[in-house]
Structure 1
C-alpha cells in the first residue's frame, strides 16, 4: 500500500503547484527513497542478482559496459546487489530532475514522467531507466558534442538509447509532417517484425547475444485478450484523445503536432511485441513539450487537476496484474526487511511460473529448467 500513498502524495503536491521547484525537490526525494530501497519486484532483478553473484574480472561484461562496471565495483567492495539498484535509481532520478527543471511546469512534468516510468523503469527495467533519463536530459543540451557524449553514456547502460537519434532527427525538422512520420514509423515496425521473425538480428555483428535472446523472448509475450493488455490500450488511447484535443485547439503549434505523433505511436505500439513498446520512451519529450506549452498558456487550474487525476489512474495500472499487485503490496524495503534474496526469488517465481511471459523464462533459468 505504500506505493499507492506515495503516488497520492506526489500527485497532491503537483495539484498544489505544478511549477514549484521546492515541491519538485520534495517529490524527487520521496520517489527516490521508495524506488531505491524497494526490493524484489518482478523477475528481472533475479537475473541481475544471479549475474551479480557470479561476476568477476574475467566474467564482468554480462550487460552494457557501465552497468556491468557498477556491478563489478559494488561486488568488489563487498556490498549486496541492492546497492547496484540504489546507484542506478540515484543516477536515473538525478538526470530526470535536471531534465524537469528546464520546464515552466517542472513539477507537473516530473509527476507525469513518474506515472509513465514508475514500477517498470525504476524497479524492473532499471538499465533502460538510466538510459532513458540520461536521454531526456540530453534533449535540453544545445551543444551537439555534449549531447552525443550523453547519448553514448546512455547506450553504455542500455543499447536501446541508440534509438534517441530518431527523436533528434524528427525534432530538428522545422515543418513536421505528421502523416509522413507515421508512415515511416510503421515501416520501421514492419521491418522489425521481419528481422525478428527470420532471426536476422543474429547476423548483425554489433548486437550482443543477450539482447538477441531477449528479443526472441519478448516476441511472443503479449496477449490481445489479456485484461492488462486491453486496459493498457484503452488508457493509451485516452492519452491520444487528450493530445488530439490540445492539437485541434492550435494546429499551427509544432509542439502540439509532435505531442500528437507521440500519442499515436504510443497507442499503436501497445499492440506490438513488448520489446517494441520500450522504444516509445524515446519519444516522450514530444508529449512533455506539448503539455508544458499547453499549461503555460492555460489559466484554468481545473485542467491541470483533471490531467493529474488521469495520470494518477494511469500510474495505478500496475494493480491490474494479479502477480504485480501481490508483489507491490508486499512492501519489501531494504534495511527494513528480514527476507533474504533467496526467499524473495522463490516467492516471485511462484507468482510468475504460471504465466507465459518474460518472468516465467527468467524463473525457469534461475532454477535450471
Structure 2
C-alpha cells in the first residue's frame, strides 16, 4: 500500500475492516461547516472506488461509521486515521487536518477496496508551504473544468498552494491585442477557481509576468515601443526568440505604469495575500533602449530598482511579493535593497542541482522558497527521471 506523502507514523494490523453500504459518514456537530464539504468529498471518493454511496449525517459517533472530528490536542494540519473493529475515525487538529485524513482514507480505499486493513496513521506536514507551479501560457490554455480537476489532484496529495503562470493567458480588458488569438481565462473563471481552491485549503497565488517573457504584450502594435530591443523581426520568429527577447524597457516610465495597470486588474480576483511578479530571465536588460541607463547605474541596479518598485506597490496593497531568484543570485548583496517581506523563489531543474544559489541567497538574508521542477524546455516529453533527482535534492 502506497500513501503519498508517506505518513510520519503508521502501523498496520493483519485484521481487516469492511466498509459496507450501511455505513454512514458522521460529522461531529462541533465541527465547522467546512467539514461538511470534506465529508462530501469522502463520499464521492468512496463511491468512485466502491460503487455505492454512503449517507452523511451530523451527530454522535455510531457503530460502524466513518467519524470526522476535531482533536484540539493535535497540532495544526495534523491528523490521525484509525481503522479498528469498531469503525473508522479521523481526527484533525483543525479543519485542514481532517481534510488530510480524508484524503489518506481515500488513498487507502482506492488501493484496497471495501476491505481495508485495520491501522493507525498519524501524520502532519514537515513543510508548511507545499506548492505547485503550473504553466498555463506556453501551450494550450487549460479550461476551468480541467483546472478544477487538477486542484482535486493537488488536494489528494496534500498540496496547499497553486500558482498559474500567466503572460497573455488572462483576458485583460484593454489588452485584446495580447490575447485575441487565444482562449484566455476570464476574471469570472479565476474567481471561481480561487473559491474552489479555498474550499480545499489551497491558496491560489497570482503569478504574472511583469519584466521578461512578455512576447505577446511587447509584440503588439500598441506596446511594441516598450520592448527593450527595437530590432525584432517577426519573420525571424522562433520559440527560442519568444522566450528570450521580450524584456520590458525599464528606462521608459510608461513601462512600469503599464505593468501596474495590469496588476490592478489581476490582483483583486484572488483571496491570497501573496503575489508573484516573476521577473525571471531578463536576458536583454540594458542591451537596447535602456543601455544608456545601464551605462550610468549598472544593469544590476536597474533590475533591483524595478523589482523594488513593484514589490513596494504590492505591499501598499496589502500583498506579500514574490519573485524568481535566478537573476538576483548573480548579485545577492542587493537583496538588502528589497523590502524584507519579499520572498525569493529559488528555482532549478537540473538533475544534479547545485546548492550555490540557495547558499548565497541565504547568506544575503533572503527569505526563500526552494522550487524544484520538471524540465520540459525545448523537449517533446518532460524529463521525468531528471525531475526525481532534482526534487529529491532540493527538498
What is the TM-score when the length of structure 1 is the normalising length?
Answer: 0.27
Which structure is higher in RCO with an 8 Å CA cutoff and minimum separation 6?
Answer: 1
Structure in which a larger fraction of residues adopt helix: 1
Please identify the structure whose Cα radius of gyration is greater: 2
